[in-house]
Amino acid sequence: MTSRRLESVKPSATMAMTARAIQLRREGRDIISLSVGEPDFPVFPHVEQAIVDALRKGQTKYTTSSGTAELREAISDWMFAQVGVRYAVPQIVVTSGAKQSLYNACQALLDEGDEAVIPNPYWVSYPEMVRLAGAKVVELMLRPADGWAPHADDWERVLTPRTRVLMFSSPSNPTGAVWSAQALEAMARALEKFPKVVVLSDDIYDKLVYGGVKCPNLLQIAPQLASRTVLINGCSKAYAMTGLRLGWACGPLEIIAGMNKVQDASTSNASSLSQAAAVAALRGPQEPLESMRVQFEKRRHLMVELLRRVPGVEAHEPDGAYYVFPDVSKILGRKYRGEPVGTDTRFAEILLEEFGVAVVQGTAFGRPGFLRLSFATSEQQIRGAMDRFARCVAALA
Ligand SMILES: Cc1ncc(COP(=O)(O)O)c(C=O)c1O
């Protein structure tokens, strides 16, 4: 019934886990969800006011497909302040979430038979977007011992004359790893031999970094790549606006024009009210972002500390985003009620069904043996979830 292209696309495991958690809650179960990737904060008050004002002023019509001039100017100023690169308005496209920017870029750049390099572990949607564009995923296997950042000599193993796209996020979902200036420099050096490769730098978590770590932007380290780099960002994570679906891409005119074509042929403009909200978020006071970040930093510490008390679990402290990606492989050989646990997927199932904690199995991110736990939830929920997690592990023989 459906297209051949769709056959290779897997349903999102994060969405599936969230849906199951919601269903169990509806059945009256007490479930703590650590599976979603969104801030538990409301939109900032001035953003809320901007939406109400826009609605009252009748800003409920189509806008230019690529976004209002007002918002694209605000993005241009914000990007200049944050990254130090000045993009002209035609070099910016506003999309329904950062996700749509990534998707449009894949559609605009990839042909059948092209290769797209994706570091593994990856955000669940990257490979599916590549496959939906008819291209082939080439995984760059990262190692926990390196803090999940690439080595200089990793690149020659994955880049080929067929590589068209390299997409990555730093900070990463699911590991929270922030790639250092040296890691980005090495990547840029490797790309010199592959001038056809366009880099999609997914910067959606770049405001959420901890412990004094700075998140360098690729174009600060390798400005020579500007002619073939698309920077992708949005309001979802930094401004707690996930449901408002507002992201953007900035890059070379030709690529952005291509992404606009995809958007014109599919969704047209992002929501007019969300665009008004984004202007307020980007131009307004930034203090709420910082207080949210400080909360996340405390929660990160708490979750890692509690996880490390569980025997058999190895948890690194992530530098950014709001996920911990512990190694639970040592536990998978144990038994639950006489049956071997075996896989991270089964472990996540036991955690949810028997102990009421929703997490996402590492397999969904290309890495069996790990789990992704989000700390974008209250301290009380984190304590409750970690208590249940510890009881679950203790119940495995
Ligand atoms: C790495 C990464 N990129 C992009 C997105 C999507 O952002 P948006 O909600 O703005 O589409 C997410 C959301 O989980 C993400 O984790």
Q: What is the pLDDT of residues 86-95, one digit of tens each?
A: 999 999 999 9
Write the residue with the smallest CA distance to atom 16 of ligand 1: 173
pLDDT score at 397: 82
Which residue, 119, 184, 185, 127, is CA-closest to 157? 119
Which ligand 1 atom is nearest residue 38's CA? 14
pLDDT score at 210: 98
Which ligand 1 atom is nearest residue 169's CA? 1
Write out the two tokens for 142: 């990262």
Burial 21-52 (b: 16+ CB within 10 A, else e): beebeeeeeebbbbbbbbbbbebbeebeebbe
Top mutation candidate among 123, 245, 360 for ligand 1, by most atoms within 8 Å of CB:
123
Write out the two tokens for 271: 């929501």
Write the residue with the smallest CA distance to atom 5 of ligand 1: 99
Could you tell me which residues come within 8 angstroms of residue 81 by beta carbon, excluding any fewer than 6 positions away? none
Task: Specify burial of residue 278 (Cβ count, 10 A radius: 0-12, 13-18, 19+).
Answer: buried
The alpha carbon of 38 and the centre of ligand 1 are apart by a number of angstroms equal to 9
**Whole-angstrom Cα distance, residue 233 to residue 237?**
9
Q: H or E segment at 219?
A: helix 218-221
How distant is the alpha carbon of residue 44 from its chain centre? 21
- pLDDT tens over the chain, length 397 residues: 888 888 888 777 777 788 888 999 999 999 999 988 889 999 999 999 999 999 999 999 999 999 999 999 999 999 999 999 999 999 999 999 999 999 999 999 999 999 999 999 999 999 999 999 999 999 999 999 999 999 999 999 999 999 999 999 999 999 999 999 999 999 999 999 999 999 999 999 999 999 999 999 999 999 999 999 999 999 999 999 999 999 999 999 999 999 999 999 999 999 999 999 999 999 999 999 999 999 999 999 999 999 999 999 999 999 999 999 999 999 999 999 999 999 999 999 999 999 999 999 999 999 999 999 999 999 999 999 999 999 999 999 8
Could you tell me which residues come within 8 angstroms of residue 218 by beta carbon, excluding any fewer than 6 positions away? 184, 187, 188, 199, 201, 225, 229, 231
Top mutation candidate among 43, 203, 204 for ligand 1, by most atoms within 8 Å of CB:
204
Write the residue with the smallest CA distance to atom 6 of ligand 1: 99
DSSP strand pairing (247-250 vs 229-234): antiparallel
> Are 257 and 265 in contact, with CB atoms under 8 Å apart?
no
Burial 148-170 (b: 16+ CB within 10 A, else e): bbbeeebbeebbeeebbbbbbbb
Handedness of CA 297, 302, 308, 310 (dihedral sign): negative
What are the percentages of helix, strand and coil residues in the chain, rounded to 5? 45, 15, 40
Q: Which CATH architecture has domain 4-42+288-394?
A: Alpha-Beta Complex (3.90)
Domain locations in the chain as residue ranges: 4-42+288-394, 45-283
pTM above 0.75, yes or no: yes
Taking CA atoms, 305 is separated from 212, 299, 377, 383, 391, in Å, by 19, 10, 16, 11, 16
Ligand 1 pocket, Cβ-based, cut-off 6 angstroms: 37, 97-99, 123, 169, 173, 202, 204, 234, 236, 242, 247
> Are 215 and 168 in contact, with CB atoms under 8 Å apart?
no
Which residue, 140, 159, 171, 233, is CA-closest to 198? 159
Write the residue with the smallest CA distance to atom 1 of ligand 1: 173
The alpha carbon of 204 and the centre of ligand 1 are apart by a number of angstroms equal to 6
**Whole-angstrom Cα distance, residue 227 to residue 219?**
10
Task: Specify burial of residue 251 (Cβ count, 10 A radius: 0-12, 13-18, 19+).
Answer: buried
> Are 96 and 74 in contact, with CB atoms under 8 Å apart?
no
Task: Report which DSSP code applies to 125.
Answer: H
The CATH fold of domain 45-283: Aspartate Aminotransferase; domain 2 (3.40.640)
> Are 42 and 244 in contact, with CB atoms under 8 Å apart?
no
The alpha carbon of 205 and the centre of ligand 1 are apart by a number of angstroms equal to 8
Task: Specify burial of residue 232 (Cβ count, 10 A radius: 0-12, 13-18, 19+).
Answer: buried
Top mutation candidate among 15, 36, 125 for ligand 1, by most atoms within 8 Å of CB:
125
